[in-house]
């Protein structure tokens, strides 16, 4: 198997694995756990697992004093993106939420244009228009689909928060750090958000007894977190960030499939049009950016 083939397989694994977030989160909501508790366990277990992997590989945990404030800010943005998305699952279909989250590359292009004076091309403007059209369709998907203004707002804010996280990595001094180091401290400093939301962790709910809740907690810490982060890093090394971004279209498709097949969500014609438009908008942006 060639490096290119491995890269495409790992890129697909990264996108699909991240799309499994609702697969593990929704069952935990159904047994009474709240968003902050679910994400607290996800971040704690994921940081422990990633820290162990870095230790075995001999990777550096070193962080300069000047990096700490920036890394803390990025960790908060990273955690906020998770909180907002997971809260949105309570207000709308998970498939539609996963698709709306996919507008993050469009937000990155806008942030770089507004704040860093990056040139914005006609293709970028076209992709933004297509994306906005797709959002309009998803905001009014028709009878049978569950979409609320609160849910849409939460997902859009989640996507914006993650876009800011990515821009700060790209434009600040912490961008020189190893990817594993950035992710580890993002998870660690992200716990600040959950400390605030749970009264310094005193209000974190215990995981209910039983195999399913614990399987979901471990699953959400490993599959959409560690597996996704590590496979995307290796895939970028093999085939480049553009190809990986294109494969990222599998992420919302995975969310839609889980929503329809496992959670009984209804995929309307208008919702399908919106999903296709948003995926086309992001692919247009990625491909023309590369050219």
pLDDT tens digits for the chain (291 residues)? Answer: 788 888 888 888 988 998 899 999 999 999 999 999 999 999 999 999 999 999 999 998 888 888 999 999 999 999 999 999 999 999 999 988 988 888 888 888 888 888 888 787 888 888 888 888 888 888 878 787 888 989 999 999 999 998 898 888 878 888 788 888 888 999 999 999 999 999 999 999 999 999 999 999 999 999 999 998 888 878 877 887 667 777 777 888 888 888 888 888 888 888 889 889 988 888 887 777 655
Ordered by start, the domain boundaries in the chain are: 3-290
| Sequence-distant contacts of 125-131: CB under 8 A, at least 24 apart | 126/284, 127/281, 127/282, 127/284, 127/285, 127/288, 128/281, 130/277, 130/278, 130/280, 130/281, 130/284, 131/103, 131/106, 131/277, 131/278, 131/281, 131/282
Q: Could you read off the pLDDT of 113-127 as tens digits, one per residue?
A: 888 887 878 888 888
Distant-in-sequence, close-in-space partners of 45: CB < 8 Å, separation ≥ 6: 217, 218, 221, 222
Q: What does the pLDDT read at residue 26? A: 92
Task: Please give the C-alpha separations between residue 23 and each of 110, 138, 147, 161, 261, in angstroms, as whole numbers.
Answer: 31, 21, 19, 22, 11
113 burial type by CB count under 10 A (0-12 exposed, 13-18 middle, 19+ buried):
middle
Tell me the CA distances in angstroms from 289 to 112, 135, 171, 235, 242, one per residue in order.
Answer: 13, 22, 18, 19, 9
Whole-number Å distance between alpha carbons of 252 and 205: 29
Cα–Cα distance measured from residue 154 to residue 178, given in angstroms and rounded to the nearest whole number? 30
| pLDDT at residue 216, rounded to an integer | 96
Q: Is the pTM of this model over 0.95?
A: no
Determine phi and psi for 203, rounding to 5 degrees. -105, 15
């Amino acid at each position: 198997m060639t490096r290119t083939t491995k890269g495409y397989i790992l890129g697909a694994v990264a996108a699909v694995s991240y799309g499994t977030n609702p697969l593990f989160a929704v069952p935990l909501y159904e047994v009474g756990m709240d968003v902050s508790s679910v994400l607290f366990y996800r971040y704690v277990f994921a940081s422990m697992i990633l820290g162990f992997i870095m230790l075995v590989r001999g990777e550096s945990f070193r962080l300069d004093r000047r990096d700490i404030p920036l890394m803390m800010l990025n960790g908060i943005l990273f955690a906020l993106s998770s909180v907002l998305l997971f809260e949105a699952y309570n207000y709308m279909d998970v498939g539609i939420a996963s698709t709306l989250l996919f507008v993050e590359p469009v937000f990155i292009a806008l942030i770089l244009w507004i704040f860093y004076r990056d040139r914005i091309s006609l293709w970028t403007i076209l992709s933004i228009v297509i994306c906005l059209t797709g959002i309009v369709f998803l905001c009014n998907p028709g009878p049978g689909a569950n979409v609320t203004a609160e849910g849409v707002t939460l997902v859009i804010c989640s996507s914006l928060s993650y876009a800011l996280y990515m821009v700060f990595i790209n434009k600040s001094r912490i961008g020189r750090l190893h990817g594993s180091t950035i992710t580890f401290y993002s998870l660690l400093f992200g716990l600040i958000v959950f400390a605030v939301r749970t009264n310094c962790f005193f209000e974190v709910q215990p995981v209910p007894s039983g195999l399913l809740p614990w399987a979901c907690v471990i699953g959400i810490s490993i599959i959409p977190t560690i597996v996704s982060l590590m496979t995307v890093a290796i895939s970028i090394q093999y085939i480049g960030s553009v190809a990986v971004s294109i494969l990222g279209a599998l992420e919302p498709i995975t969310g839609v499939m889980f929503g329809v097949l496992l959670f009984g969500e209804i995929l309307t014609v208008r919702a399908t049009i919106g999903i296709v438009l948003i995926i086309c908008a992001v692919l247009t942006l990625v491909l023309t950016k590369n050219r």
